[in-house]
Amino acid sequence: MHTPALVVDDDRAVRAALKVNLTKAGYDVTLASSAEEAIELMKSNSYDIMLTDVKMGGMTGMELLPLVRTHYPDTRIVVMTGHGSVRDAVTAMQAGAANYVIKPVEKDELLMLMDRALETRALQRELARLRKEVGEKYGFSNIIGVSPAMQEVYEQVQAVADSNATVLLLGETGTGKELIAHAIHYRSRRANAPLVAVNCGALPEALLESELFGHEKGAFTGAVRQHQGKFEQADGGTLFLDEVGELSLQTQVKLLRALDSGTFTRVGGEHTVKVDVRVIAATNRDLYKEVQGGGLRADLYYRLNVFSIRLPPLRDRKDDIPLLADHFIRRFSERHSRPLPSLSTAVLRQLNTYPWPGNVRELEHVMERAILLNHAPELSSLKLPEAPSPPPAAPSAAPRLDPGGLPATLENYERVLITAALEEAGGVQARAARLLGVSRSNLNYRIAKLGITLQGIHFE
């Protein structure tokens, strides 16, 4: 199928030559001798691309350009101009033309510019489609729940979405914090700008600052070129900081500055970078306790906690469990090309009595597994996970009373507990922090405070 193109020029010879060359190149060419004729043609025909001269009798190409951009925004425009009118070409580009070509027109150059304009058009269409798809995926229609607890969450999301306020999402792992973050972004004025996510607990501390704020070439071994961090990537949009309680105290200082002023410096850099970013943070920890324990700066806590939304665990919204289960079996039946089964009374009873320690994410995985294993018109039973094993018991023997009294004795006991956790975790501090029930930054703070080193610790 040929690409429809409209050529607008008041010179008959130019129109004829362009028609021959563009037709040979695969375009379905329509000719207009004036801007006025072009407007009439566009009222009843659709064109992927328009090639127009600037200076014509009557309405000029510069006057035609904004009309086409306003009423036919999907049509790409390439402007033709004489050698002495480069300023007109620049003005046309600023007004929305895809490109310009200088007369006399070289055929190969023109075809290259037109192909490039159409490629850009295709990319813009694909981007619009993906944005629509993502917006639908993360819209309220995919946040399932009729329980009072979820209705309150919906109301809070609607209240804060269309603002620039920092949002703190609180809740256990698997409650849907990332889904809510997407819903807030795609209901905000920043919906057409990037949403960039980073898991603060998934990256080594040495790389996290560079990941957030970027680095300059040569900032450290392996930094062979300048790197834009997540803040710069999210400029104009939203930055989602998942597991924000895992940030080290050093990174917290830089994050606080970025939140307060919208500025930061890349690792190894000297120049200040300014961005316009809305931050949504999430955590499964009690950040107030982290502040009390010294693992989180109080000023950062209050800066993040401008508007908090607490997501209920699945065990507190049992009315939603059948709805979620039905949603997931429909999704996975379609994804894996399996028949859609109904849920038996026994399965509904299982769903309702299981404690769901992994929350909605665990339910999702259970239902996908059920669909893959099921070959009957009805799901009659579910294979539910076993309850997670309890954490290893802490050492039972406390140190004797230190001559320094209770404070020194408590420090010694804390040192024993941390050392035991490090041994159990093989020296991996993130794992030791999970065993102790504290954040990695909190553990790092305590290790430094107590002067604990890995030397002499026995790793099995």
- What CATH number is given to the structural domain containing 348? 1.10.8.60
- Select from 310, 331, 353 the last residue of a domain: 310
Is residue 438 exposed (0-12), middle (13-18) or buried (19+ Cβ within 10 Å)? buried
Tell me: do 155 and 304 sit in the same domain: yes
Sort strands 272-274 and 263-265 into parallel, antiparallel or unpaired: antiparallel
Same domain, 187 and 286: yes
Looking at the domain assignment, is residue 362 inside a domain?
A: yes
Alpha-carbon distance 202 to 239, whole Å? Answer: 16
Which pLDDT value is given to residue 128?
Answer: 65
Helix axes 86-94, 61-71, angle to 10 degrees: 10
The CATH number assigned to the domain holding 305 equals 3.40.50.300
Kindly state the tokens that stand for 337. Answer: 């090309």
14 lies in the same domain as 117: yes
Instruction: Report the pLDDT value the prediction gives residue 460, as an integer from 0 to 100.
Output: 46
Instruction: Looking at the structure, tell me whether residues 182 and 244 fall in a common domain.
Output: yes
Q: Do 106 and 233 fall within a single domain?
A: no
358 and 437 together in one domain: no
In a domain, 223, yes or no: yes
Segments forming the whole domain that contains residue 368: 314-379
Structure tokens at 121: 């058009």
Residue 418 falls inside a structural domain: yes
pTM, whole model, 2 decimals? Answer: 0.62
Residue 384 lies in a domain: no
| 358 in a structural domain | yes
Q: Are residues 329 and 262 in the same domain?
A: no
- Looking at residue 453, what is its pLDDT? 74
Residue 364 falls inside a structural domain: yes
* 286 lies in the same domain as 343: no
Whether residue 287 sits in one domain with residue 343: no
Asked whether residue 386 is assigned to any structural domain, the reply reads no
Q: How many domains does the chain have?
A: 4
Distances (CA, A) of 275 to 17, 229, 451: 49, 11, 39
Same domain, 145 and 254: yes
- Point out the domain boundary residue: 102, 131, 160: 131
Q: What's the CATH code of the domain at 397?
A: 1.10.10.60
Residues 156 and 288 in one domain: yes
Distance between CA 347 and CA 321 in Å, rounded? 11
Residue 221 inside a domain? The answer is yes
Provide block-wise average pLDDT over 10 residues at a time, the chain (460 residues). 88 92 92 94 92 88 88 88 68 78 84 86 70 56 81 93 95 93 92 91 83 88 85 95 91 92 91 94 93 92 95 94 92 93 93 93 94 92 70 50 66 81 78 80 82 61
Helix, strand, coil % in the chain, rounded to nearest 5 = 50, 15, 35
Cβ pair 226, 215 in contact under 8 A: yes
C-alpha distances (whole Å) from 245 to each of 210, 289, 375 are 18, 11, 44
User: For residue 359, what are the CA distances in angstroms to 242, 310, 317, 390?
Assistant: 17, 14, 10, 18
CB-based burial of residue 64 (10 Å sphere; 0-12 exposed, 13-18 middle, 19+ buried)?
buried
**Are residues 149 and 245 located together in one domain of the fold?**
yes
Q: Of 295, 310, 325, which closes a domain?
A: 310
